[in-house]
Amino acid sequence: MTIRASRFAPGCLATLLSVLAFGSAQADEVQVAVAANFTAPIQAIAADFEKDTGHKLVTSFGATGQFYTQIKNGAPFEVFLSADDTTPEKLEKEGDTVKGSRFTYAIGTLALWSAKEGYVDPKGKVLSDNQYQHLSIANPKAAPYGLAATQVLAKLGLTDKAKGKIVEGQNITQAYQFVSTGNAELGFVALSQIYKDGKVSSGSAWIVPADMHDPIKQDAVILNKGKDNPAAKALVDYLKGPKAAAVIKSYGYQL
């Protein structure tokens, strides 16, 4: 916007400049650590958030366990969107979060997926048939979706059969990549990675029933580094609102 002084009386120009300066001062950046499974939804939400509030997200994606270590080591994150509820709760108990800021922003869904059409049947029988060579999962020690995958295998009595065939990714993004590139015939991924607007967008999948593993409750929390950043609180409030909720649901999450 170009301001021409000749078009405004001195008092009006001063007022306009004050308004513009105030608006600029209210626009802040917020550093956000985001669980890898929530990559696509937060990217969609970020555009609306910036448009509606003027604040901007600076996002980093990875495994929840790795983020915990980074936060404890002084990483500059101000908001943490975890893939579980236990890690934010632990940080809260250890005094690393803003009191009262933790809440569940989504409940994740696990899926067994193949990039090949028709390879995975709707009930996941492909696992018990045991004809596959490689099964991709996320690191169960760092990624809640990886832990859920091991729980499903145990419940099906297939832990021993799958042993030796598992290809382990550092996080759920890498687990997805192993399948999408054909390095594994199938793998356990977050439904949000393969789901959009009510359907699986490619390949074939079994949407794992929720009672086959521990609930994947995903909590968000403001970290101590974000306690004085208005954009941090604005983001948490925005995630609780109807516009963000619609995006989250569209990727197969429950609220």
Contact 181, 48 (CB under 8 A): no
**121, burial (CB in 10 Å: exposed 0-12, middle 13-18, buried 19+):** middle
Contact 66, 141 (CB under 8 A): no
Which architecture characterizes domain 108-212 according to CATH?
Answer: 3-Layer(aba) Sandwich (3.40)
Helix, strand, coil % over all residues of the chain, rounded to 5:
45, 25, 35
Topology of domain 28-107+216-250, CATH: D-Maltodextrin-Binding Protein; domain 2 (3.40.190)
Where does 38-120 show beta strands of DSSP type E?
Answer: 56-62, 79-81, 103-108, 110-114
- pLDDT number for residue 16: 38
> Same CATH topology for 28-107+216-250 and 108-212?
yes
**18, burial (CB in 10 Å: exposed 0-12, middle 13-18, buried 19+):** exposed
The full set of domain ranges for the chain reads: 28-107+216-250, 108-212
**191, burial (CB in 10 Å: exposed 0-12, middle 13-18, buried 19+):** buried
- pLDDT number for residue 163: 93
Beta bridge partners of 153: none
Residues 6+ apart with CB under 8 A from 238: 45, 49, 52, 53, 244
Average pLDDT per consecutive 10 residues, the chain (255 residues; last block may be shorter): 37 40 62 95 96 96 95 98 96 98 97 97 95 97 94 97 95 96 96 88 95 96 98 98 95 91
- pLDDT number for residue 174: 96
Q: Is 206 helix (H, G, I), strand (E, B) or coil?
A: strand
Q: Which two tokens stand for residue 75?
A: 């990483």
* Alpha-carbon distance values, 182 to 81, 122, 238 (Å): 29, 20, 38
- pLDDT number for residue 26: 61
- pLDDT number for residue 196: 81
CA distance 131 to 170: 25
